[in-house]
Structure 1
Amino acid sequence: MALPAQDERTVPAVVLKDLDRQPLEQTLDAVKALIDHHGHVVVVCSDAVPSGVERRLHTVRSLLESDRIALFRPDLPPLGLAVLARQLRQLASCDLSPGVLASAGRLLTHYIHAGAVLGSVARLDRVPVGLKAHAKSWVPGSQFGVIAHPEPQLVRIGPEATLTGPDFGSWMLLAKGQLQSDWVGSTLAPAWNALGLREADLPAESATWWGTGKLIEFCTYLPELSVLYQLVTSVRQGVCHWCGIDVIGDRCVFCSATPPVPESRTPTG
């Protein structure tokens, strides 16, 4: 899901549709054209898409023999993933190298709180669900507040229901599915001291990810480009020993290389 631009500098998204159904040659041509035009490509993909999509992406990367394609599948619900992709699009307008920009995805994931209000948790397998919650799921009218990231939480919504949120100022985005509830806007957003509330369309993968179409998905995020840029540039950068690209963290997002293990030295004397 490509969210609308956050500001006038946000780089447009390119949506690769039907990767597991279209001819391989068509996908190869599309990705090669992106590399030729932009130099490097960061593919952000939900783990709720069909397995054939991931296989096709790895096939394309292998056939193109390119270390300029980064495949990124963070453990985020679809709406949180869409927000992260937009943040990377915002940062793409800055003077960040491709490796640092792609690595920034892992860093910014830590600042996203993502969850949903669900009408049933009977098919929820992304968050631990106890037998008691499963039983209550069959009671007509029951609704549950769930956090999937950064730490799993689950409560049955009622007068005393609370969920732990971010300890820093952030905006909240929500996307409504087939569920009627104002709990996020009237209760959760004020409890989390949200700086503002916006709405978006529900991502296509949300019902699959959460196990039900009766949901309202939400997440909190940092919208300001200046804050995102400061976060990324304040982290120590390194150079991949294999492909030579600048990176943040201990794994290159383009060639997947990790730092070599230091050789052990035998004490002398």
Structure 2
Amino acid sequence: MPTAIAVTSADLVLPPMDHQTPTAALLQSPEDQPLDAALADMTVLLEQHGYVVALYPASIPVAHERRLHTVRSVLESNRLALLKLDLPPLGIAVLVRQLRQLSICDFSPGVVASAARLLSHYIYAGALLKSVTRLDRVPVSLKSHAKSWVPGSQFGVLANPNPELIKIGAGRLSGPEFATRLVMAKGQLQSDWVTAELAPGWQTQSVHEAALPADSPRWWGTARLIEFAAFLPDISILYQLVSSVRREVCTWCGIELIGDRCGFCSAPLAAPESHSKEVLALNPGTTTATNHAP
């Protein structure tokens, strides 16, 4: 069975791009589900899939985040990965779909979990905003704040992979240098800038529309927005990208991973230099003899 992908909000589950991509499980908030029911649901997921990779926004309510860690602690399960993401809501939804795609490939659960950090660097997530006066997720200058009070002003904002802000009509947002598709979600703002200017400028292959995630207005500081995210859509490219990274074994929990941190226990990968120092400390006589060998 494929590794189960789970989310904390149903609007983070975008429609699949093919008939093979599975959906994601929903981990409800404490207000919507008692602890006993949450434990029972997670037990079923673990029994059916073996491993669960749960992704949730950094902006999630504290009580909901605490619930996730409580479930993991009570079940004493090292087969549940909790991945906290600081991407905008639509960017998280895109990443969730990509992990859903990878979950049916021949990757181990640890590689699927740690692939989230890798793939997030290839997601260009931003929004068209009517105002940036309440935007606190991306650095905004006092000059931009002042311009937001000018009638008719609109701003293009990029939150990931690198923060960037422009006034529409006075610049262009830096885009990906590789082929992407673009998904957009409309809030209370009418504009064709995303489809008429941004998408052609970024040379995106196609544009698709999705429902605006419920948390997007709070994340961006306004409901007058159009959120967008450019991403790698092809499963073969995602597979090649993840496969190209060297795989390691977590020295703490023993699970396979890519990158520098385990997706399941969050332990950092020991650097080669640190490993050498440990060997040197454990075998000083052997090392000294080696260093003096002709």
What is the TM-score with the length of structure 2 in the denominator? 0.87
Tell me which residue corresponds to 1:9. Answer: 20
Q: Which of the numbers 125, 136, 158 marks the counterpart of 1:125? A: 136
Deviation digits for residues 98-152 of structure 1 (CA, Å, limit 9, x no counterpart): 1111111111111100000011111100111111111111222211100000111
User: Which stretch of the first structure deviates more once superposed, 193-202 or 241-250?
Assistant: 241-250
Residues 115 and 218, structure 1, Cα contact 8 Å, conserved in 2: yes
Q: Tell me which amino acid in the other structure corresponds to 2:138.
A: V
2:180 counterpart residue number = 170
Specify which structure has the higher proportion of helix.
2
Query: For residues 96 and 125 of structure 2, what CA distance do their matches in structure 1 show?
Result: 14
Give the equivalent residue in structure 1 for 2:255. Answer: 245
Structure 2 Cα separation of the partners of residues 129 and 258 of structure 1:
32
CA contact (8 A) 1:118 1:146 kept: yes
Matches within 5 A, 1:62-211: 62-158=73-169, 160-211=170-221
Task: Tell me the distance in 1 between the aligned counterparts of 2:204 and 2:125.
Answer: 13
User: Deviation of residue 8 (structure 1)?
Assistant: 0.9
In structure 1, the residue matched to 2:224 is 214
* 3-state SS, counterpart of residue 197 of structure 2: helix
* AA at the equivalent of 2:232: L
Q: Following superposition, which runs of at least 4 residues in structure 1 exceed 4 angstroms of deviation?
A: 264-269
Per the TM alignment, residue 252 of structure 1 is displaced from its structure 2 partner at its CA by: 1.2
Letter in 2 for 1:168: F
**Post-superposition CA distance 1:143-174 (Å, at most 9, x none):** 1100000111111112x421110011111110
Q: Using the aligned pairs only, state the percent identity.
A: 58
CA positional deviation for 1:20: 5.0
AA at the equivalent of 1:6 = M
Distance 1:259 1:249 in 2: 8
The amino acid across from 1:18 in the alignment is S
Cα displacement (A) at 1:25: 1.3
**Deviation by residue 1:180-222 (Cα, 9 ceiling, x = unmatched):** 1110100011111111111100011111111111100001001
Q: Which residue of 1 aligns with 2:57?
A: 46
Q: Distance in 2 between matches of 1:19 and 1:4?
A: 26
Distance 1:249 1:124 in 2: 31
Compute the RMSD of aligned alpha carbons: 1.5
Deviation at 1:21, TM superposition (A): 4.7
CA contact (8 A) 2:29 2:67 kept: no
Q: Which has the higher contact order (CA 8 A, sep 6+)?
A: 1
1:199-255 deviation digits (Å, cap 9, x = unpaired): 100011111111111100001001111111111111100111222211112221112
Distance in 1, Cα, partners of 2:222 & 2:209: 20
In the alignment, is the contact (CA less than 8 A) between 1:185 and 1:197 conserved in 2? yes
Of 49-58 and 171-180, more deviation after overlay is shown by 49-58
Distance in 1 (CA, whole Å) between partners of 2:70 and 2:218 is 25
Q: Secondary structure at the match of 2:95?
A: helix
Task: Please identify the structure whose Cα radius of gyration is greater.
Answer: 2
- Contact 1:119-1:142 within 8 A present in 2 as well: yes
Indicate yes or no: 2:41 matched with 1:25. Answer: no
User: 1:75 Cα shift?
Assistant: 2.0
The residue that corresponds to 2:9 in the other structure is: none
User: 2:158 and 2:31 mapped to 1: Cα distance?
Assistant: 30
Structure 1 residues 47 and 20, CA gap change in structure 2 (3 angstroms)? farther
Deviations 1:46-80 (A, max 9, x none): 12221211111111111111100111122210001
Q: Which runs of 5+ in 1 are unaligned?
A: none
